[in-house]
Structure formats: structure tokens, C-alpha cells
Chain A
Amino acid sequence: MGNMKLTLKIWRQNGPKAKGELNTYPVNDVSEDMSFLEMLDVLNDDLVRKGEEPIAFDHDCREGICGSCSLFINGEAHGPGRMITTCQLHMRKFKDGDTIHVEPWRAEAFPVIKDLAVDRGAFDRIQAAGGFVSVNTSGNLVDGNAVPIPKADADTAFDAATCIGCGACVATCTNSSAMLFVAAKVSQFALLPQGKPEAKRRVLAMVEQMDKEGFGNCSNTGACEVECPKGISLEHIARMNREYLAASVTKE
């Protein structure tokens, strides 16, 4: 098992208002079987032992499902490799002697909290604006499976629902647009009968909140689709555009 020596250039920033900069850290003894986050753990362990401030970065489940881990690694959201989050990125993707740039997601709507950790609360506020169905839970709840739904619709809705809200779409978009995220959240309901009653209100409210948060506009470069760890398709953005246009024209 070959151990690698790497040079990391990592964004350090003390707080939201502080001025940040790229600092250089050499890391030795990196196993190719480590995940990128485990490699950062090793570096942080080293920094703590030396009495230095460890690098702040977001992580939680470390199995590619929570959407916590972010990181813009070597110029790409979640680093090289497709359909993966940073915790699923292994060090075997890099070579001994490599220099790796690590930066936080860059967007006005995702302010840096500290170092590599950014505040993705904007996504929560977009969800709160309409990313739900209002179900009566007072005892006369209809079983979801009792409502017939075409298989193709159910599958497409589920494809949209796999969005983990990590923000890679925003990070990789040249315009810092959140359209793929919002489109996934709109689509997962728009396709299902349970989502229909609130469909118009939902898409209008979520898009309004998205614009309020300061995300950029979608210019259809398609970068989000490529970098999305869950492979959310641009077709969902088109669906949201259809929903939005129809809702704008027919709203009371």
C-alpha cells in the first residue's frame, strides 16, 4: 500500500466577516484507501497536536446520503469523479506529489461560516417556502400507496427526491444558480397526485424565495447536472420552468 505525500492549498477564514486566504499544508502518509475527509481528519489531528487551529469543514454521515460535505476540490465540486460526494471521494483519485486546492462553495447566498464550512440555510428557507405537502394527519390519513400513480411518474419523482441538498449545483454553476436544487424539490411533488393541490403556490413561492436569497440565474450551461452527486437531470429544471410559466399565467 503506497503512502502518498501531498501539498494541500486550503482556504482559511476565521469567521464570516474575516478576510480569508489559501494556506499551504504538506500532508504525509496519506493512504489511497482514505476518503478525502479522512485525509483532512489526519491533517486536523496533526494541526491540533501542533497547537494550531484545525480546519473547519462540514461532514456528517460519511456515506454519501446526508449532503453535509461540500468542498470545491481541484476546481470541481466534490472533486474529481462523478456521482459522488466528498466523503465518497477516495485518495486513490490523486497521485503522490499532487497539489490539491480546497475551497469552500462560492456563492453570495452561501456565506462562509469558517474556513471551508458555508451556511446553506438559504436552501432550508427555500424548502420552507413551499417544499412540502400539507397532509391532514388528524386520523383520516389516506395511505400513500392507495393512490394509483403511473410507474414512470413515480420513478421520475423519486429521481428528483434523491436530491440531498448539498449545494454542488450552486457551487459549480458559473452563475451560482440554485435552479437544479429548486427544480428537484418542485419536481418531486409536481409529478405526484399528493403534490398537485399546492403545485402552483409551491413553485411560485420557492422561486421567489430562491431569487430573494441572491442566487444567480440559470443560463443552461448544464454544469450542475454533471457535478450533481445524485445525477439530478436538467429535465427537472425544464419541468420547473413549465410549472412556473403556467402558474405565473394562471395565478389569481
Chain B
Amino acid sequence: MALTGLFLCIFLIAHLAGNLQLLDMSPGGQLKFNAYAKFMTTFPLVKAVSYLLYASILFHAFDGLLLAMQNRKARPIKYAYEKANASSKWFSRQMALLGTLVLVFIVIHMKQFWYEMHWGPLGMDADGNKDLYTLVAFSFTQLWYVVLYVIMMGVLAFHLMHGFASAFQSLGLNHPRYMPIIKNVGVFFAVIVPIFFALIPVWMFINA
């Protein structure tokens, strides 16, 4: 969980960096983004990493599901009265639920853009590249998509809020001097990354 989780965190940074280009909504920005999308789907090294990414998502999801089922089995009779919040944060206990929601979002998100980019009927832009930009821009003129994306980024934020530091702990990387730094970086990462992701659909909706 820890290794795939941290790899997915690195992916989030790369994914965000690339997609922040969408904030440039000029015709030039459209061509630049489409050229970038073509590069990301055809350059061999990127393709190789993307297969590692798919495998990581699947492993992270299935391993998480397996662990959650084992954990459920470990306590067949629940407490009648439990003050769980007295000793831990709710999102640290709901990683399986938050993760499932993120997975559902990934499926929707990939169908919407990834699938269309690879196999969908996309038009061509002035440079002869598949016009993914127009599909994205059109999608985010629909309010419910924007709302879904913003809510799901909130879910992702809570998943990362626990997940980031938790991954270090699982790998044994806990040291009195560095753990507070790791925790703070984790919270910063969990807040900043989803906010910037959510900014894209909101920005495109407002400026459509």
C-alpha cells in the first residue's frame, strides 16, 4: 500500500503539472495542451510509466480491499458504544471508503477523457492533433461535472491527509526528528494538490 501509494502521489504531481496548462484557455493554449496530450499518449517512456501506473492503481485498490476485508473479519462483534474520535481521526479510519470513492472517480474520469483520447471519436485541431482540449472544455461547461470534480477532490484530500504520512510509517520511516516534517508535508500536499486540481474545472466553467 505504501509503495504504490507514494508512487501515486508522485503521479498526482506530474498529472497536476501537466493539466495546469488547461488554465490557459487561449487558442494557443488549446494547441499546446493537445500537443502535450499527444506526447503523453505516444512517447514510449511515458507509455511504459503509464502501464506501471495502471498496475499501481489496481494493486493499491485490490490490496486495500483485501486488507479492509481482513480488518472487518478481525472484529466480528462491534462495540455497542464507541468513542473512536477520542483517539484517532475519522479519515484515518475511513481510508477504505475514501479510497473506494476515489476509485469510482478514477473510473468516471478515465472514461471521460482517457478512453476518449485513446479510442473515442475526437476531432482534430489546427496542428492535426486529437482535440482533447475541446472535450475537456465542453465537459466543464456542465455544472454537475464541476461539482462532482470539486467534491471528489475533497475526498482525495482526506485520503491523502492520512495516506501520505501513513506510507512513511508503514515503510518504517519514522524518526522523532523527521516525523513532524513528514506529517506537515503530508497535510500541505493533501490540501494544495486537490485544490489546484479542483481549480481547473472551476476555472474552465467560469471562463467558458
Enumerate chain A interface residues (CB-CB to B < 8 A): 9, 11, 22, 72, 74-76, 80, 101, 103, 106-109, 172, 174-177, 214-223, 226-227, 234-235, 237-243, 245
Contact = CB atoms under 8 A, between A and B. Distances in A.
A175 B75 contact: yes
A75 B74 contact: no
Interface stretch (B116-124, B170-178, B199-207): B170-178
Nearest to A216: B74
B169 A22 contact: no
A106 B77 contact: yes
Contact of B170 (A22, A220, A226, A235): A220
Contacts of A175: 71, 74-75
A103 B88 contact: no
B149 to A, nearest CB: 27
A218 B87 CA distance: 15
A135 B58 CA distance: 47
Contacts of B175: 235
A223 B175 CA distance: 19
22 contacts: A72-B82, A76-B83, A80-B86, A101-B81, A108-B74, A108-B75, A174-B93, A175-B74, A214-B73, A215-B74, A217-B70, A217-B71, A219-B93, A219-B166, A220-B165, A221-B93, A222-B88, A235-B175, A237-B174, A238-B169, A241-B170, A245-B171
B92 interface: yes
A126 to B, nearest CB: 15
Contacts of B174: 234-235, 237-239
Given A241-B172, A245-B171, A176 B87 contact: no
A74 B85 CA distance: 12
A176 B74 contact: yes
B162 A101 contact: no
B76 interface: yes
Interface string B155-185: 0000000100110011111111001000000
B67 interface: yes
A109 B166 contact: no
A227 B87 contact: yes
Given A103-B81, A241-B171, A221 B74 contact: no
Given A174-B88, A216-B74, A235-B176, 12 more contacts: A75-B81, A76-B86, A76-B87, A103-B79, A175-B71, A219-B67, A219-B93, A220-B169, A226-B86, A234-B169, A235-B175, A237-B174
B133 to A, nearest CB: 40
Counting from the closest, the 6 A-B pairs by CB-CB distance are A75-B83, A238-B174, A242-B172, A216-B74, A175-B71, A241-B172
A15 to B, nearest CB: 15
A11 B172 CA distance: 38
Given A103-B81, A234-B174, A239-B172, A109 B88 contact: no
A34 B88 CA distance: 29
A235 B166 CA distance: 12
Contact of B71 (A75, A172, A176): A176
Contact of B75 (A101, A216, A218, A219): A216
Greatest chain B CB density within 10 A among A74, A172, A220, A237 is at A220
A90 B92 CA distance: 31
A106 B83 CA distance: 14
B81 A74 contact: yes
Given A177-B74, A226-B88, A234-B174, A101 B169 contact: no
Nearest to A218: B170
